[in-house]
Amino acid sequence: MSLNAGLLLFIPYRAMENRVFAALAAAGFGDVTPAQAKVFQRIAEDGSRLTDLAEQAQITKQSAGFLVDQLERAGYVERAPDPTDARARLVRVSARGAAAVTVAAAAVAEVEAEWAAHLGARRMTQLRAILTDLREITDPYA
């Protein structure tokens, strides 16, 4: 059975995602869900508007608001006034959220190191370059 390219991309992603969530749980951040992470990982360094998060996560504004509310109650994000528009609010990563990001980044680095050891440095570099090129036609936010 030959797997299509989409599935071949998804399988390693899912494996990495499982490792990240396991590391988060082990570090005391086990209350983050994949749906919340889909929104959380799109928060810009200086904060993001809810409408932008919804668009980038490809979900409704209502769904994004619900997920941000959950993240805020759990202490991962905070809302702050938008300095460019007094009527708007920004979603920002809180100190607890930043700690979770550090754990997740370490897990990603560990998985990528394992992949590089399996593929070899040259092939890992090629893989990253190919996926970066593919992003140009698949990611409207690139």
Residue 142 confidence (pLDDT) above 80? no
pLDDT tier, 81 (very low <50, low <70, confident <90, very high otherwise): very high
Residue pair 38/59 in contact (Cβ under 8 Å)? The answer is: yes
Q: What is the mean pLDDT of residues 65-85?
A: 96
Residues 51 and 85 in one domain: yes
Residues 22 and 43 in one domain: no
pLDDT tier, 18 (very low <50, low <70, confident <90, very high otherwise): very high
Residues 105 and 142 in one domain: yes
- The percent helix, strand, coil of the chain (3-state, each to 5) is 65, 10, 25
Count of structural domains, the chain:
2
Residues 25 and 35 in one domain: no
* Helix, coil or strand: residue 59: coil
Q: Give me the percent of the chain exceeding a pLDDT of 70.
A: 100
**Residue 80 confidence (pLDDT):** 94
Which structural domain, as residue segments, surrounds residue 88?
A: 31-93
Residues 54 and 100 in one domain: no
Residues 10 and 44 in one domain: no
Q: What is the mean pLDDT of residues 95-117?
A: 98
Enter the tokens of residue 141.
């936010």
Residues 39 and 73 in one domain: yes
pLDDT tier, 29 (very low <50, low <70, confident <90, very high otherwise): very high
Residues 43 and 21 in one domain: no
**Residue 25 confidence (pLDDT):** 98
Residues 64 and 74 in one domain: yes
Q: Of 78, 93, 108, which residue sits at a domain end? A: 93
Residues 69 and 103 in one domain: no
For 78, phi and psi rounded to 5 degrees?
-140, 155
34: nearest Cα among 48, 21, 25:
21
**How far apart are the C-alpha atoms of 69 and 67, rounded to whole Å?**
5
**Residue 4 confidence (pLDDT):** 96
Per-residue pLDDT tens for 85-95?
888 899 999 99
CA dist list (Å): 23 to 12, 42, 50: 17, 20, 27
**Residue 139 confidence (pLDDT):** 86
Average pLDDT value over all residues in the chain: 95
* pTM of the model as a whole: 0.90
**Residue 86 confidence (pLDDT):** 84
| Angle at 99 (CA atoms; ends 96, 105), nearest 5 degrees | 140
